[in-house]
Each structure stands twice: as structure tokens, then as C-alpha cells.
Structure 1
Amino acid sequence: MQGLPAIRRNGRGCQPGFTLVEMLVVLLIVGMVSGLLFDGAAQLMGMQARLDGQLIRLRGEALRADWLRQVVQGLQPDYADGKQIFKGSPRGFSGLSTNAALPG
């Protein structure tokens, strides 16, 4: 009995391959996995865009702080009757510096 092929109820032998239901299940699983991957990729891109905005803002703040530090380090004393004698207030300062100031 070992050499006999398997017989189905309808009388035909078993054919190798996948059934339509098996293919539909595979397509359903592949679709669900790809949907999850695309959703994750969209969230990742959104987080990257927010991070890029924060990095640009922080770089601008760092550049302004570095510029101010360089200007203050470059302050030079002027003569007592000079036009560029150091003056300061809580809102700003002026004086003679060897480093360039921002325009405006």
C-alpha cells in the first residue's frame, strides 16, 4: 500500500501546489505586514522632520551665542574721551571690539 497515491473524495489524486485559500491568506498577511511597515516609516519620517527643525533652531542659537562670546572677548578699551568707550545696560551694550558685529 505504500506506492498508492492519495485519493480525495471526488476521486482525483492530490496535486502539488497551493490552494486559492492559502494564497489569499498569504496575500492578507503580506498586506498587513507591509501596511505596518509603511505606517512605521511614515512615523519615522515625521519624527525626523521634527528633529531637523529642532536641530536648525539649536544651531542658530549656538551660532548667536558663539558670536556674542567672540564680540565680548574682543572688546578693547578706548580712550576716556573716545566715541567707542564701553557702555552697557540690561538691554544691550556698545564698545570697541576687534570682532565684527552683526549688521542692524
Structure 2
Amino acid sequence: ASLRGKVNSEAVQEHASRALWGLISENAVNQQRAKGADADEALHFAQNVHLESLPVQEACALAMEALCSGESFADGIRTTDYGRRHQVCTPIPDTALRGVSL
């Protein structure tokens, strides 16, 4: 709530951004949830409200980096030798569905 403009306290926005960073930096599920909740908009809002605050700017930048990490991984891997050798995808059967009939 603090990042969406309900609380304009600089300290609250800094700590909320750092907390978000901690939640999503090593957790893909939390990263997806944060994206679904438009966390990027909230972070941009916090940055715009506190333009002069270096701690808020740094905390928001860290959170944005964590939020966007992995988005360009597929493009980057294609430029490697491994990526060029494996351009064609190999289907992998879902073994979790063994014995399931529809």
C-alpha cells in the first residue's frame, strides 16, 4: 500500500522497496506475483515522488532490477555457442501426468 501513494513517507517507501527486492531477488514465484500486481508502476511512482532521495532511488532501482531479471535471458542464451547448437526445441514429456486419463 505504501508504494501506491497511500503513504508518501520517504522512509516507508525506501523500506518497502527494499522489502520487495528481498522477496523477489531469488524467488521466481514472488517475481511473477509482483509483476502481476504491477509492482513496476508502484516503484516508478515512488521514484517520481522522491526524486531527491538517494536511498529511495537506490532501493527502487534494486527492486526494478530484480523484477526485470531473467526477461532477456532467452535472447542472451541464443547468442552463445550452446544456444546456436540447440535452436530446435526438444519436447520433454510431462512425467507428472503418468497414469492420468482424461
Task: Report which of the two has the higher share of helix.
Answer: 2
Q: Rg: which structure is higher?
A: 1
In which range does the TM-score fall when normalised by the shorter chain? under 0.3
TM-score of the pair, normalised by structure 1: 0.23
Q: TM-score if structure 2 supplies the norm length? A: 0.23
If each structure's strand is expressed as a fraction of its own residues, which one has the higher value? 1
